Amino acid sequence: MSYNRWSCGGNEGQFKILKVRFTSLAIFASLGAAVLCAPNGARADYAVLRSGARLHISGYETIGDRVKLTVEGGSIDIAADELVSVEPEDHFTSVVTKPETIGPYSEMIHAAATKHGVDEKLISHVIAVESNYNPKAVSRKRAQGLMQLMPETAAKYSVANTFDPAQNIDGGTHYLKDLLAKYSGDVKLALAAYNAGPDTVARYGGVPPFTETQKYVRAITDKIAKDNAKPAVLAAAFPAVHSSAK
């Protein structure tokens, strides 16, 4: 973790220390001081608070015993000892074309969906958001593979090799099936638990108020909503064809 001190114009005594975190020297070299003075850059991190909350931030500064977190739409002022750490956001590079109904993993997804009774498109969307279809993806929290299984989850579902696409998809789908059963088919709660853990969902009595988790749930449920809207659009556009197909 590296920090740099800058003055963004005006009176330098106005702020004691302006700390802006960079995750690589390449970003520092290309963006320089301009990013430090413009917190709404493309790269964002997560501020982990002592309460367990994770806030999506684009920068932060320490002023005495307080920390000012820059978030979308403004800033939040907290006590310095409330900030546990700042974690970079995970970004994975896609290594295959994202499939709709066909693709490199379509047969594996179909097999897992049939075996565990989980919707194929739900599995596909989870893979897209979790790993961007990269079977070798590893997060900073040690989640691995296409469906980003934690080691303990992989062990629970007998996944010997988390980087094997078939094993990973089967284990992740089995976990999704159990979460859907736990929350009586509530997809939002199941996804929240997949992302933040069932204990966290229980603690907050629903989808946790974490930007990361809410963004995750929204990204997948929006895709599902679009999937479900397509047949209705086709039916409206071609009512005679749709009627004859029944």
DSSP one-letter code for 98: P
Classify 129 as helix, strand or coil.
helix
Instruction: Please report which residue ranges of 205-238 form alpha helices under DSSP H.
Output: 211-237
Secondary structure string (H, E, C) spanning the chain: CEEEECCCCCCHHHCCECEEEECCHHHHHHHHHHHHCCCCCCCCEEEEECCCCEEEECEEEEECCEEEEEECCEEEEEEHHHEEEEEECCCCCCCCCCCCCCCCCHHHHHHHHHHHCCCHHHHHHHHHHHHCCCCCCECCCCCECCCCECHHHHHHCCCCCCCCHHHHHHHHHHHHHHHHHHCCCCHHHHHHHHHHCHHHHHHHCCCCCCHHHHHHHHHHHHHHHHHHHHHHHHHHHCHHHHHHHC
Catalytic residue among 72, 130, 152, 212, which? 130
Pairing of strands 19-22, 2-5: antiparallel
- Residue 130 appears among annotated catalytic residues: yes
> Among all residues, which ones are annotated catalytic?
130
